[in-house]
A and B are shown apart, each in its own frame.
Chain A
């Protein structure tokens, strides 16, 4: 499984066995987001990123493989995280060519 750490962290190849633990933290992160607990959300996101970094193998930077899941960065505000996850979200439009 390939995981991207958003915010410049790059991509990692991790063993599928890590998915259960990641999902558990992910659920806690969702709950924290829903009750507006930014501190808890940031802590869970950091924990997820640490887990991936310490157990995964960094993908070469010139690898073009897409990620299976993406972990949002922990330095966003609650509002920014919500926008990131919404359809017309936080991610800016890509630049027009030429």
Chain B
């Protein structure tokens, strides 16, 4: 195999040269190439928007997990205060699992962030080159004979073709990443719905219910105590009165 650097350059040139073979007339080649550049520029903008949307979804999930960490911590303290170490342990176990999920989400978010930066930088480079190409296209059309124009078109189009190939790859990779992330998020939703996974972020977990029970038990106990005290006091007053 030839070196990676020259091989990559060759593959990219081969990919793009097909595009140039299409039209006979130099002016037509220029216009055709330009249209495809604009199309690609649209695609890359759409790609950036898709990554931003995927990031927002992950961010929301991440925020929810953060909240549940705080909640589980509070619940563990409440349980311990109520003398229920078993519940406190359960809450802390869930907290640890939620923390692991959160770390995984953060890694995914970071991956998406990197894709976004690459796409944005690719978009900026492509956009600058498309504008330069547009200017050059008009110059070539106006100033050169067909034979000369062919040569100059070849140069300009090869230069921008390389950028198009690179941008195309960046779009593809961001798309793959976004899709796999969405599939993963969808799979988690399904597991939660089927009950196979405890949803840490749902409003009422088993833990909530048990803690509520502990709290209400405590309330019943204290009311009972209060009533007993009142009854005792009543009895005493009766005794005094008689």
Q: Are both chains from one complex?
A: yes
A residues with CB within 8 A of B: 3-4, 6-10, 22-23, 26-27, 29-30, 33-34, 45, 48, 60-72, 75, 81, 84-87, 89-98
Q: List 29 A-B contacts (CB under 8 A).
A: A4-B166, A7-B166, A8-B121, A8-B125, A10-B125, A29-B3, A48-B5, A61-B125, A61-B128, A62-B132, A63-B132, A65-B155, A66-B159, A66-B161, A68-B9, A69-B9, A70-B8, A70-B9, A71-B4, A71-B5, A85-B11, A91-B168, A91-B172, A92-B169, A92-B172, A94-B164, A94-B165, A94-B168, A98-B35
Residues 1-31 of chain B, each 1 if its beta carbon lies under 8 Å from chain A, else 0: 1011111110111111001000000000000
* Binary per-residue interface labels of chain B (93-136) against chain A in the complex, 1 for a CB within 8 Å, 0 otherwise: 00000000000000000000010011101101100110111001
Chain B residues proximal to chain A, CB less than 8 Å: 1, 3-9, 11-16, 19, 32, 35-36, 38-40, 43, 114, 117-119, 121-122, 124-125, 128-129, 131-133, 136, 155-156, 158-162, 164-166, 168-172
The CA-CA distance from A16 to B48 in the complex, in Å, is 36
Across-interface contacts of B118 in A (CB, < 8 A): 7-8
- CB contacts (< 8 Å) of A34 on chain B: these are 1
Decide: A91 and B12 in contact? CB cutoff 8 A: yes
- Complex interface: chain B residues within 8 A of A96 (CB): 36, 39
**Residue among A8, A61, A81, A84 with max Cβ neighbours from chain B (10 Å):** A8
Q: Chain B contacts of A97 at CB under 8 A? A: 32, 35-36, 38-39
Q: Please name all residues of chain A whose beta carbon is closer than 8 Å to the beta carbon of B170 when the two chains form the complex.
A: 7-8
